[in-house]
Amino acid sequence: MCAEPGCTAAGEFRAPAREGASAGFDGPPPFRWLCLDHVRAFNAGYNFFAGMSPDEIQEAQRPIAGWERATRAFSATASADQPPRWADFADPLDAIGARFRDRMKDRAERKDGRPLSGKDREALKVLDLTIDSDRTALRKRYSELVRRYHPDRNGGDRSHETRLQRVIEAYQQLKGSPAFA
Ligand SMILES: [Zn+2]
């Protein structure tokens, strides 16, 4: 259940506890579970450095300390779609930036302007194709993957059957999509 008073939605997203809540001496950092709407609202008003002294802010920006804190803060936004408020925060392993770019990529449009449905985008991922792929690239990748995963091509080994099935479904999806007409 969402921790926001009066909210009855499922609390699926972990957020840092309210300011003022303190961690146990060496216990885990305090947190609470929020629904998507409330984690977004929380996120929009989140100030990573709130309540820190200048020394603490500097300390938090050192790569190792920063990594721990950024990771903890980032878990709150797992499925929220706002750019991180702490986007200018040190991100030594590029974890936050990479995640954000992935999300933007999920929404990118084709250069030729042909529409892509959510199912089309999933299918492109299954086939490991870029969003601007054309029908020729689709056919080529499909035949490569069928050859790779087909039991007849693997001495009867059926271990790739699920993968093969997903490849076939993805191909069927894209073959009928306006983007590949
Ligand atoms: Zn809620």
- Predicted pLDDT at 107: 75
pTM: 0.45
Compute φ and ψ for 33, nearest 5 degrees. -105, 130
Ligand 1 center–CA 11 separation, angstroms: 7
Most confident of 61-65, 85-89, 100-104, 174-178: 174-178
Distance 12 CA to ligand 1 centre (A): 9
Give me the pLDDT at residue 16, please.
76
Give the tens place of pLDDT for each residue, 82-110.
555 544 456 666 666 666 666 666 678 89
Using the mean position of ligand 1's atoms as its centre, give its distance from the Cα of residue 146 in Å: 45
Q: When comparing pLDDT for 145 and 74, which is higher?
A: 145
Alpha-carbon dihedral sign for residues 28, 24, 94, 79: positive
pLDDT digits (tens, 9 = 90+) for 112-144: 889 898 899 999 999 999 999 999 999 999 999
pLDDT over 80 (residue 21): no
Closest CA to 100 of 74, 61, 126: 74
CA distance 164 to 151: 9
